[in-house]
Amino acid sequence: MPLSNADRLESEALRGAAQPTLRAVSPGAEGHLYVPHPVLDHGMVRLIDYMGDDAAIVQAARVSYGRGTKSVQDDAGLIRYLMRHWHSTPFEMCEIKLHVKLPVFVARQWIRHRTANVNEYSARYSILDREFYIPAPEHLAAQSKVNNQGRGEVLGAEEAARVLDILKGDAMRAYDHYEAMISQDGQQGLARELARMNLPANIYTQWYWKVDLHNLFHFLQLRADAHAQYEIRVYAECIARVVKDWVPAAFAAWEDYRLGGVTVSAKGVACLKRMLAGEAVTQETSGMSKGEWREFMGVWGG
């Protein structure tokens, strides 16, 4: 995806205006500052600012635990302990601010994560660009027959071409009408706040999104998951790469205990103990519902 000239020039200017600081600095995050990372066909993620690093998490935890903690655990070990035992406030000491350019329908999914500060580009005051998300053919799939929220088989070439023609045609037609409605060429022109209602959900918007690390990890756990919708998952995966460089010890702990870990219910623990003791456990004798048992065996059934 070619970045706009304005985005490129702004990023170069910001990176060229380095200032000395007494703040804690993360070398990994510094490498990402103001660098636009392309996502989808016209989207991007750009790190604007951050506060704290792995040491800030440890510092906050040791304040609450007392001075004796440092002598028994190294920093990475303490961070893993905090993650393993679901401590949250030490991770809230770190924050990140991102500039994100994304399709409106992805933004409406994203905004459900309400534990962040958001300021979005306003189409009441400004004119939106003629930029729309048009999926690649390999990302056009039929409705899943088993999951109402998911996709099934990829569309065939002929059907994909038909859908793409509809998407492109509708988007361009809607934008043409948007321009015509707000035009003041010899007429009053409709207010921008009204004209925007006719724009499709695949048009791009932009926002600044600031969130603490604890809530960011929760966002990534849901949205970087393989079951998440592709269009938001690629943003989460891009952000995850930035976070990995920013707080490597915390990210490694999160990846191990949350992204790659499994939560087991009390019934699941009881079943595992019985199975390890050599007992043949079935869904009927497990005390679980069919759905619970299916998920349990998906992880532990071998």
Residues with catalytic annotation?
223
Between CA 102 and CA 91 the distance in angstroms is 27
- The string of DSSP letters for 90-148 reads TGGG-EEEEEEEEEHHHHHHHTT--SSEEEEPPTTTSPPPS-B----GGG-EEEPSS-T
* Maximum pairwise Cα distance, the chain: 84
Sheet holding 95-103, edge to edge: 36-39, 43-51, 95-103, 204-212, 117-120
CA 195 to chain centre: 30
Quick one: CA torsion of 100, 102, 106, 109, rounded to 10 degrees?
20
